[in-house]
C-alpha cells in the first residue's frame, strides 16, 4: 500500500479547515492534519515573515491527481505551494483504512471493518 502526503499552506485557519473538510468529504483525502506555523519567504522582492496554516493531506496514488487539481482550483493563494511526500513505510492497518477512504468521484466510501 502506498501513501502520498500532499502539503500546502494557507494564511487563514478558516481556509485550512474548509479545504481539509471538503477534501475528506469528497474522498480526495483520507484525513488532513492542520498545523500552525511561521513562514519566512521572498515574495515580490520582499522578505516576508507570516503566520500560516500547513495542511498535510493523506491520499493514495489513485487520488493524487484529483486532489492536486482540486487544491489548485480551491486554494486562496495566487501561487500556492503544493508538493507531495512519499513515506518509505506505512503500517498495514492504516494503509488498508486509507485505501478505503480515498476514491474517485464514482466510488463509494468503503469501511474496512465490514
Q: Is residue 20 part of a domain?
A: yes
Q: Is residue 29 part of a domain?
A: yes
pLDDT of residue 82: 97
- 25/94 Cα distance (integer angstroms): 19
Q: Is residue 110 part of a domain?
A: no
- 66/107 Cα distance (integer angstroms): 13
Q: Chain centroid to CA 59: how far?
A: 7
Q: Is residue 114 part of a domain?
A: no
Residue for cell digits 492536486?
68
Q: Is residue 44 part of a domain?
A: yes
Beta strands of 14-61 (E only): which ranges? 31-43, 46-59
Q: Is residue 58 part of a domain?
A: yes
Work out how many domains the chain is built from and give that number. Answer: 1
- 31/58 Cα distance (integer angstroms): 6
- 104/23 Cα distance (integer angstroms): 12
Residue for cell digits 469501511?
111
3-state DSSP assignment of residue 56: strand
pLDDT tens sequence for the chain (114 residues): 789 999 999 999 999 999 999 999 999 999 999 999 999 999 899 999 999 999 999 999 999 999 999 999 999 999 999 999 999 999 999 989 988 899 876 655 454 444
Q: Is residue 70 part of a domain?
A: yes
Q: Is residue 113 part of a domain?
A: no
Range of the domain at 11: 4-101
Amino acid at each position: 500500500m502506498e501513501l502520498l502526503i500532499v502539503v500546502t499552506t494557507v494564511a487563514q485557519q478558516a481556509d485550512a479547515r474548509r479545504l481539509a473538510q471538503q477534501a475528506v468529504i469528497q474522498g480526495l483525502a483520507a484525513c488532513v492534519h492542520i498545523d500552525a506555523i511561521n513562514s519566512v519567504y521572498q515574495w515580490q522582492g520582499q522578505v516576508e515573515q507570516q503566520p500560516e496554516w500547513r495542511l498535510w493531506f493523506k491520499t493514495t496514488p489513485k487520488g493524487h491527481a484529483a486532489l492536486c487539481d482540486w487544491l489548485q482550483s480551491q486554494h486562496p493563494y495566487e501561487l500556492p505551494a503544493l508538493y507531495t511526500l512519499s513515506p518509505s513505510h506505512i503500517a498495514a492497518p492504516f494503509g488498508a483504512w486509507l485505501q478505503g477512504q480515498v476514491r474517485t468521484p464514482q466510488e463509494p466510501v468503503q469501511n474496512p471493518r465490514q
